[in-house]
Amino acid sequence: MKVKRNVLLSYILAGLFNAHFWMGIWLLYYLRFTNYAGVGLLESVWLVISLFGEVPTGAIADMLGKKKTLIVSFFFTALGYLIMGLAPSFSVLFFSLIVMAIGGVLQSGTYEAIIYDTLKQLKQVKIYDKVLANTQTIGLVSIAISSIIGGFVYRLSPGMPFVMTSIAIFLAMILSFWLVEPKIDTAKFSLRNYLNQTRQGFNLLFTKKRLQTTLIFLTIAAFFTILYQSVNDALVIEFGFKGTQLGVFYAGIFIVSALGVQLTPWLKRYLKPYQIITIIGVVFSATLMISPFVMMFVGGLTVYLRETFGQILINLTSNEVNRDIPSKFRATTLSTFSMLKSLPYMFFAILIGHLMDLYTARVFAFWFGLAFGVIILVQFLLYQRTIKKS
C-alpha cells in the first residue's frame, strides 16, 4: 500500500529537517552582524511571525493538502537558511529569518497531521505515539550529530553550517514529493471556508468534553516553552558551563532526550495521560526549585531531566490533541494549540529576562517552579473532579 511509504519517509524527513549544523554556533554567527540587542530583535520578529502564522497556515494545510503545504514549507525553510549562510549584512540576515519563519509555520502541525492521517487510513492510529517517538528520536540524534559537526565547520567558514542545513532541507523537500496525501475530507479553498476552517479548529480544541484536558496540557506546554526558550539556557550558564563544555553538554541533551522519548509508549501502557502529565509537572517544578542550591553536575542533571521529560510531553500532547479531531481540521487544531502554548512566552519574554538579570536565573527558577507546582496541582485536582462527574 503506497500510503505506508509515508511512515518510512517521515523518519527520513525527521533526520534531514533536524540536521541543525548551526545549533551550537548560531549566536556567535549573529554577533558577527549585530549586538545582543540586535539578536533580541531578530528573535522577537521570528517569534511574532511564528505565533500569528500558526493558525492561518494550519487551515491552509487542511484545505489545500498537507503534502503540498509541507513541500512549500521545506522550500521556504531551506531558502531562508541558504540566504542566512550567505548573508553579507544585518538586513539580509533579518530578511532570511522572515523567510525561515514562514517555512516554520507552514510545517508546524502539518508534519504531525500527515503522519496521524496516514495511520488513521491504515487503521493503525494506536501506534501513533510510537511512530512519533521514533521521529522525535531520529530528529534529536540528528541535531546532536549535526551540531557537533557544525562547530568544526564554523571554524573553516562561519556561514557554512547554515548552508549545510539548507542542503539537508532541500533534500527533504525533494523526498516530500514521494509522500502520499491521505484520503480525507477536504473543503474547497475560499475566504469563507478559510475563516470557517479556522473557527472550527479552535472550537474543537475547547469543546466541553476536551476543555479540562486542553487546559492542563496547554498550561504545562506553555511552561515548557518558556523553559526551552530561555530559562534552561540561562541556568546552564549560571551552573558554570563554558566554551567547549556547552557543545558537549547540548549534544548530550539531545542524545539522552532521544532515548528518553522512547519511554512514552511504555508509560502509556501503565499510566493514564493526565497521570503522566502530572508526573512531568512535578519533575519540572521540583528540579527548578532546587536550582539555587546545586552546583554544576547536579544542576546539569536537572536540565537533562527537564529536556527529556519535555520531549515526552511533546509526544503525549500531540497524541492527545490529535485524538477525536476530524482529519480535515487536524492541522488547524494542532497549529492553534501551538500558537496558544507560545503566547505566554511572547508576552512575558522581556519581563522574564529582566527578572533573571535582576535576581539571577537560579532564584527566578525557584519561584517559577514553585508557582508552577501550585498551578499544576490545582489543575490536577480540577481534572480529577471532572473525571468523577463524568
Does 261 have pLDDT greater than 90? Answer: no
| Cβ 129 vs Cβ 265: under 8 Å | yes
Give the pLDDT of residue 93: 92
Is the pLDDT at 215 greater than 70, yes or no? Answer: yes
pLDDT-based confidence at residue 81 (cuts at 50, 70, 90) = very high
Position 331 confidence tier, pLDDT thresholds 50, 70, 90: low
Q: Indicate the domain borders of the chain.
A: 1-182+190-205, 211-323+360-390
pLDDT tens for each residue of 340-370: 887 887 778 777 877 887 888 899 999 999 9
% residues pLDDT > 70 (the chain): 82
% the chain with pLDDT above 90: 21
Cell of 9: 519517509
**Using CA atoms, how far apart are residues 247 and 25, in angstroms rounded to an integer?**
9
Cα(61)–Cα(108) distance, rounded to whole angstroms?
A: 10
Q: So what's the pLDDT on residue 75?
A: 95
Could you tell me if 214 and 349 are in contact, meaning their C-beta atoms sit under 8 angstroms apart? Answer: no
Lowest mean pLDDT among 86-95, 155-164, 243-252, 292-301: 243-252
User: Is residue 247 within 8 Å of 24, Cβ to Cβ?
Assistant: yes
Tell me which of 3.40.50.300, 1.10.760.10, 1.20.1250.20, 3.40.640.10 is the CATH number of domain 1-182+190-205.
Answer: 1.20.1250.20
195 vs 187: CA distance, rounded Å: 12
pLDDT tens column, 223-255: 888 888 778 877 887 888 765 566 677 778 878
- Which range among 65-79, 179-193, 198-212, 261-275 has the greatest average pLDDT? 65-79
36-64 vs 330-359: helix crossing angle, rounded to 10: 170
Can you give the pLDDT at residue 152? 83
Place of cell 529536556: 307
Please provide residue 272's backbone torsions phi and psi, each rounded to the nearest 5 degrees.
Answer: -80, 155
pLDDT score, position 286: 95
The residue that leads in pLDDT, 103 or 205, is: 103
H-helix segments, 160-205: 160-176, 191-205
Residue 318 Cα distances to 5, 170, 191, 219, 254, angstroms = 21, 26, 28, 14, 19
Whether 189 shows a pLDDT value over 50: the answer reads no
Of 45-49, 240-244, 258-262, where does mean pLDDT reach its minimum?
240-244
Residues 6+ apart with CB under 8 A from 285: 369, 370, 372, 373, 376
Cα 388 from Cα 390, distance rounded (Å): 5
296 CB-contact burial (10 Å; exposed 0-12 / middle 13-18 / buried 19+): middle
Q: What is the mean pLDDT of residues 206-231?
A: 81
